Structure 1
């Protein structure tokens, strides 16, 4: 059945399509940046050009499906189906199947130089660990599946809703980013390790601290574990913490070129990943120097590929801590002539219902501009529930407000 499309030269077509083909078509069209109707048009055009019917497709559970096609295309397709002795339902199934075969899932774009994202703030309790984990999860999601994302242009709406969240309808389904991600728990407290359901490394074994001190007992790869959730497809890994990191600053004091110690240790695994995220301790010691140095811009690396991501809260004490941290980073920049890029500010645990302090503080962060606010993450229950369940947030509650915002953050700093 057809009906005219008053908005242009297309006509509405009502046919039948299986739920599996419809979902595959929706995802694949999005991956290629196409409207579904354009993909169907291309499939029908290619099918008609073959001059013969393709192998039969199972259409047993086909349901009503409508789309818009150029005027006249459906009539020609109907005539071809009749000539080939097949139903319209079978014909459209073959056309969509043909388009899917001709348009496979695009390869994920890999960075020329591994991205190194240093998540930091010397103030404890701002949620660095949750941001590190959530950002890594968002970067690693399935590139052949669609996930809900809220784009960054809606940040400003937080100042107007009075509810601590943006319009729930302002979402867009986008493909997962499909990056190979290593999360490094650089905090001796081991919150990232425990949050993801893993155990800290034993004190009498090998650790990142040993490798940074030049006393590694084996291959660093042997310490890495996979975050075992289907939606990450084996792309999300963790280098667990060890409580020996409490002694890291003392051990680094006697290490040659100690600011490069983290880079020397992680160089062995860099080729395995697209992105490495460092969950820093709440400290301004030598370990923070090593993390900042690791995030510096390398030779031939484009600006903004790597750098520091600062997590703050919408309250006054975060501003004081931010000043201390940026002073240390600026000192490193000047003393060692380094290019250390600020990837942005993430305002975490935001809830406008806390009143003027929260809203005015958020506005103050947004007024800074350099570094700019790249994410606003609400203070909602799902994150706490995921920590209790020892599961990644984006696997525990993939459609919650925090998951949606973390995906937006991943895309904002990947531009």
Structure 2
């Protein structure tokens, strides 16, 4: 942990869970996790950057690949992403090496970001005419030589070529689902797309994780939605859910994750716990034997 006020505060948040001394298992090979949902406003970017930061704070080496032309993941990690910055667009369209665009995140040691710029908005059209257009991200990741434990790919709210590139590159899909009305609307199409990619382009890809976001324990609706999602996806849903939190919403405006913006907040502790579940699941650890609390820091 770097000896800065932010770093020390983040370390205190890890210790607040009582598990910092235990650490987390490191995956035997890089886990490429695609964070996708074609619905907007469900917490894709927030989930991507905070899970990545959480795992990095536990000692993992983590990269965030920002595939959303809005560049919100880059903003949340404090990464400059104006139009002149080398970005993931250059990797996908021009074949630039991924190592040429990756930047370290200054607030969190071991966390890196491949930023998105507004140029990415035209990539969907430009990719159509390129050879092996669906696998350009996978080839870039395969050629990246620096050791990584996790790669999180933040997808745009659509099921176009950028999202297909992410699914061809990854082995796992993480779907954030907000605890609100119509939570499952459109999810069937996303699952069908995963099946299509598995059948034709990437036999490894599967939906491994579903994370409930924007959970408000004061409302009956949130509990009903959570129960419905768990009934449909019992194996995939994390026990931890992410609460609706002002701190989580405020953090990106300061170019930070909630882990560094307010390490002791309920949102920060929930993402730390969700990251712990993901790491333990990847290691094959039985969560029933752990001390994980159902619902996290709701």
Is TM more than 0.5 here? yes
What do the CA deviations read for 1:3-40 (whole angstroms, capped 9, x no partner)?
A: xxxxxxxxxxxxxxxxxxxx9xx99x97776xxxxxxx
Q: For 1:361 and 1:260, locate their aligned partners in 2 and report how far apart those are by CA, in whole Å.
A: 35
Could you tell me how far 1:275 is from its partner in structure 2?
0.8
Aligned residue runs from structure 1 range 12-161, under 5 A? 110-141=26-57
Report the count of equivalent residues.
265
Determine helix, strand or coil for the equivalent of 1:344: strand
Match of 1:211 among 87, 91, 103: 91
Q: Say which SS state the counterpart of residue 70 (structure 2) adopts.
A: coil
- 5 Å-filtered alignment, 1:388-399, equals 388-399=253-264
The 2-side partners of 1:347 and 1:324 are apart by 19
SS at match of 1:403: helix
Q: Residue in 1 aligned with 2:186?
A: 321
Report the equivalent of 1:202: 83
Identify the residue that residue 170 of structure 2 maps to in structure 1.
295
1:192-212 deviation per Cα after TM superposition (whole angstroms, max 9, x unaligned): 111222221425x64322222
Residue by residue, what CA displacement relative to the aligned partner does 1:206-239 show, whole Å, maximum 9, x if unpaired? 43222222x245x43232222112xx3x211111
* Greater Cα radius of gyration, structure 1 or 2: 1
Task: Give, in whole Å, the separation in 2 of the partners of 1:31 and 1:360.
Answer: 33
Structure 1 vs Structure 2 CA RMSD: 2.5
Paired residue for 2:228?
A: 364
Rounded to whole Å, the distance in 1 between the matches of 2:99 and 2:188 is: 36
* CA distance in structure 2 between the partners assigned to 1:242 and 1:286 by the alignment: 17
Q: Deviations over 1:86-111 (max 9, x none)?
A: xxxxxxxxxxxxxxxxxxxx9x8543
Tell me the equivalent position of 2:154.
Answer: 279
The residue aligned with 1:76 is none
Q: Distance in 2 between matches of 1:119 and 1:237?
A: 17
Question: Which residue of the partner structure matches residue 68 of structure 2?
Answer: 187
Label 1:30 to 1:340 Cα distance change in 2 as closer, same or farther (>3 A): closer
Q: 2-side partners of 1:222 and 1:266: how far apart?
A: 12
Q: TM-score, normalised on structure 2?
A: 0.81
Relative distance call for 1:112 and 1:270 in structure 2 (3 A) is farther
The Cα of 1:318 is off from its aligned counterpart by: 2.7
* Cα distance in 1 for residues equivalent to 2:160 and 2:19: 46
Higher relative contact order (CA 8 A, sep 6+): 2
1:147-187 Cα deviation digits (max 9, x unpaired): xxxxxxxxxxxxxxxxxxxxxxxxxxxxxx20011111110
User: In 2, distance between residues paired with 1:345 and 1:357?
Assistant: 18
TM-score between the two structures when normalised by the length of structure 1: 0.59
Q: Counterparts of 1:313 and 1:30 in 2: how far apart (Å)?
A: 27
Q: Tell me, in whole angstroms, the C-alpha distance in 1 between the residues paired with 2:140 and 2:150.
A: 16
CA distance in 2, matches of 1:270, 1:118: 20
> In structure 2, do the counterparts of structure 1 residues 407 and 344 end up closer, same or farther at CA, with 3 Å as the change threshold?
same
1:331 aligned to 2:196?
A: yes
Equivalent residue, structure 2, for 1:47: none
Which residue of the partner structure matches residue 245 of structure 1? Answer: 120
Unaligned runs of 5+ in 1: 1-22, 34-105, 142-176, 297-306
Q: State the distance in 2 between where 1:182 and 1:336 align.
A: 23
Q: What residue ranges of structure 2 are gaps of 5+ in the alignment? A: 1-11, 281-298
Check if 1:262 corresponds to 2:137: yes
Contact 1:212 1:264 in 2 (8 A): no
SS at match of 1:116: strand
Alpha-carbon distance in 2 for matches of 1:111, 1:378: 28
Alignment correspondent of 2:110:
235
CA distance in 2, matches of 1:31, 1:382: 23
2:217 corresponds, among 334, 340, 352, to 352
Higher strand share: 1
Secondary structure of 1:194's aligned partner: helix
